[in-house]
Amino acid sequence: IVVCSFGYYKDQEKALSDFGEAYKTMSVNYIGAVSLLNLVAAEFQKRKTGSIIAISSVAGIRGRQMNFLYGSAKAGLTTYLSGLRNRLFKDKVSVTTILLGPVYTKMSEGHNLMPYITAKPEVAAEKIVKAGLAHKDEVYILWQWKWIMLIIRLIPEFIFKRLKPF
């Protein structure tokens, strides 16, 4: 079992004006994870067994003005994991995508978090392990996010782009 957890999100405004910050956001959240997972996947494919649990984000489901750079990297990771899951299925390797919302961690310090939809680290960890051991495909750690993101996906773009940041 390999648990892959890459996450970096500091300041979108800085990332929009400083390519170094943008590059760090994209490289940590996508390139770092994919470079490691390609090696793990090749080994598990040879062995014809294994389980990959990778943490992505609900931010990758739809681009929101407040975090679209981070979200785009996580969207890429989610798509990569879907393809990897498809590729490795015949080799009996499971790939679980964790669609994580905000968690009270160092990365979320300074962000305006809503307690109802923010996970405690120990709760998130327990649910991540449980989902991976059950060989789930995609899992929202807090059930609320499944419904929130369904609603957000259903909002037409011409309306969505007019909404205030949330």
Q: Catalytic residue positions?
A: 70
Strands 138-140 and 50-57: unpaired
Question: Which residues contact residue 131 at a Cβ distance below 8 angstroms, ignoring those fewer than 6 apart?
Answer: 53, 96, 98, 139, 141
The total number of residues shown for the chain amounts to: 166
Rounded alpha-carbon distances, angstroms, from residue 6 to 30, 57, 138? 8, 10, 17
Nearest to 54 by CA among 8, 98, 103: 98
Question: Which residues contact residue 102 at a Cβ distance below 8 angstroms, ignoring those fewer than 6 apart?
Answer: 108, 111, 113, 117, 118, 119
Asked if 94 and 119 count as a contact pair (C-beta separation under 8 A), the reply is no
H or E element, residue 154: helix 143-154
